Amino acid sequence: MSTASGSPQLRTIGRMAAELGVPIHRINHILATRSHIQPVARAGTLRLFDAEAVAQVRHELNAQDARRPAPREADRA
């Protein structure tokens, strides 16, 4: 994604979590365990990620959710 001025839109972990609708700890876990997803820039101690990294994190989250067992009927009631 680019802004109107043509510069890339970078996201912090918090912004990525809000965009994907998941808690920050899930994003942190993905980033800590997948070395192929790297920040494209840093601002002080903040790591900044581009749209490609967000897509990779989304893919990893979907893969985690697919491996999660479905809730049992007894747990739903």
pLDDT at residue number 57: 97
The DSSP-derived string for the chain is -B-TTSPBPPB-HHHHHHHHTS-HHHHHHHHHH-TT---SEEETTEEEB-HHHHHHHHHHHHHHHHHSPPPPHHHH-
* CA pair distance 22, 35, nearest whole angstrom: 20
Please say if the pLDDT value at position 72 is more than 70.
yes
* CA pair distance 4, 6, nearest whole angstrom: 5
Mean pLDDT calculated for residue range 35-50: 95
Q: With a threshold of 0.85, does the pTM exceed it?
A: no
Instruction: Count how many Cα atoms sit within 13 Å of the Cα of residue 15 in the half-sphere of its side chain.
Output: 12
Which of 1-5, 18-22, 72-76 is least confident? 1-5
Residue 77: which pLDDT band, with cuts at 50, 70 and 90?
low
pLDDT at residue number 4: 59
